[in-house]
């Protein structure tokens, strides 16, 4: 079987969860014997299945080619709105009906895809309510995000020695941006007095500047440059952390949080977007709009005396890329069976 993967052309300029999901799924699927090619402008033919990551308008021409050539098109939706009230869903559904609205193009992509692969049940439900017609046949299969098993084996001393860190600390690994909510996390650290290390790309915009100003003259808050995803320093950083905090306004569910959980860190993560489906009772879920509650949940995680291996075992059993790849390949196989059935 040959599968063509489709990712946003400029994705690695803003490298984040969608890019990690696409690259790591490709690697894990290859280990199961599937031939995976990532689409480039020089690609001359497509595989037996095309798998796209994210609801991007740039995918439409490839989807059109697939429709004309009877090639199944799987779409990892990677879509979630921060507010999921009935009124919000109705507004978004109305926007998706307007022909020249970007939401309309996403709707066409969702409806024309052979199968939708959301990361959580919450995402699946939101996609259905906004984009799919009532009474439409169900074509959504939840394929979770994952993490590499190597994150369970990081050496904490590598990170500590590199940066001269000896005290316990809270870690945040994410781009510095409004959705990742570092500003409230910094305020929580100022109030709570715990050591906070933020590792992530500085987009050098107004929000990141506000974060830097808020943290100015705070000896317990430190910013570090991004660490490459394949660098042994990254699992080491997770393993060195006492608590990993990702109080974003939205995550589906936050690959960094899975990686940190595998490394043995206590997890404080947003409840918005599906993390509760992954971390269940093993994590702490703050009101992300309240710096005080973020502080409270971090303190609870900091003082947690339960066995951290319980979360690690849960994640190893359910959320490694190998587990994700097995579920993904079953989807490809079903798409090809349906294709054969249509032709017979």
Three-class DSSP labels, 170-193: EEEECCECHHHCHHHHHHHHHHHC
Distances (CA, A) of 96 to 67, 104, 127, 134, 320: 22, 4, 11, 14, 34
63, 6 in Cβ contact below 8 A?
A: no
Do domains 2-145+321-343 and 149-318 share one topology? The answer is: yes
Among candidate residues 36, 32, 100, 111, the one with its CA nearest the CA of residue 77: 111
Q: Which helix (H) or strand (E) holds 332?
A: helix 321-343
- Dump pLDDT digits (tens) for 17-40: 788 899 999 999 999 999 999 999
Write down the pTM of the prediction.
0.85
- On whether the 149-318 domain is CATH 3.40.50.2000, my answer is yes
CB 189 within 8 A of CB 296: no
d(CA 75, CA 302): 39
Q: Which stretches of the chain score pLDDT less than 70?
A: 82-102, 133-137
Instruction: Say what the pLDDT of residue 342 is.
Output: 83
The token duo for 237 is 């950083």
All structural domains of the chain with their residue ranges:
2-145+321-343, 149-318
Is 254 within 8 Å of 275 (Cβ atoms)?
yes
Could you report the per-residue pLDDT of 308-329, keeping only the tens digit for each?
A: 899 999 999 999 999 999 999 9
Helix or strand run (H / E) with residue 6:
strand 2-6
Q: Report pLDDT for 252.
A: 83
CATH topology classification for 2-145+321-343: Rossmann fold (3.40.50)
């Amino acid at each position: 079987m040959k599968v063509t993967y489709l990712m946003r052309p400029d994705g690695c300029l803003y490298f984040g969860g969608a890019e990690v999901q696409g690259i790591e799924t490709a690697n894990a699927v290859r280990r199961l014997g599937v031939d995976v090619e990532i689409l480039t402008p020089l690609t001359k033919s497509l595989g037996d299945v095309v798998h796209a990551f994210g609801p991007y308008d740039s995918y439409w021409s490839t989807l059109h080619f697939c429709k004309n050539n009877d090639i199944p098109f799987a779409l990892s939706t990677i879509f979630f709105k921060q507010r999921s009230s009935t009124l919000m869903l109705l507004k978004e559904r109305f926007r998706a009906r307007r022909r020249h609205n970007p939401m309309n193009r996403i709707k066409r992509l969702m409806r024309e895809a052979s199968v939708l692969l959301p990361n959580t049940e919450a995402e699946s439900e939101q996609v259905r309510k906004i984009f799919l017609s009532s009474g439409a046949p169900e074509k959504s299969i939840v394929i979770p995000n994952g993490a590499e098993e190597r994150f369970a084996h990081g050496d904490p001393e590598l990170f500590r020695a590199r940066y001269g860190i000896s005290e316990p600390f809270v870690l945040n690994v994410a781009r510095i941006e409004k959705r990742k909510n570092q500003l409230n996390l910094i305020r929580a650290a100022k109030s709570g007095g715990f050591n906070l290390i933020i590792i992530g790309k500085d987009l050098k915009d107004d929000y990141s500047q506000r974060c830097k100003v808020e943290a100015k003259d705070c000896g317990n808050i430190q910013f570090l440059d991004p660490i490459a995803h394949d660098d042994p320093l990254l699992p080491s950083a997770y393993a060195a952390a006492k608590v990993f905090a990702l109080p974003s306004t939205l995550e589906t569910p936050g690959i960094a949080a899975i990686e940190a959980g595998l490394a043995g860190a206590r997890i404080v993560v947003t409840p918005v977007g599906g993390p509760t489906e992954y971390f269940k009772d093993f994590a702490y879920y703050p009101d992300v709009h309240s710096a005080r509650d973020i502080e409270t949940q971090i303190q609870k995680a900091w003082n947690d005396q339960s066995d951290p291996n319980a979360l690690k075992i849960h994640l190893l059993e359910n959320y490694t890329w190998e587990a994700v790849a097995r579920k993904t390949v079953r989807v490809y196989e079903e798409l090809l069976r349906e294709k054969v059935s249509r032709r017979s």
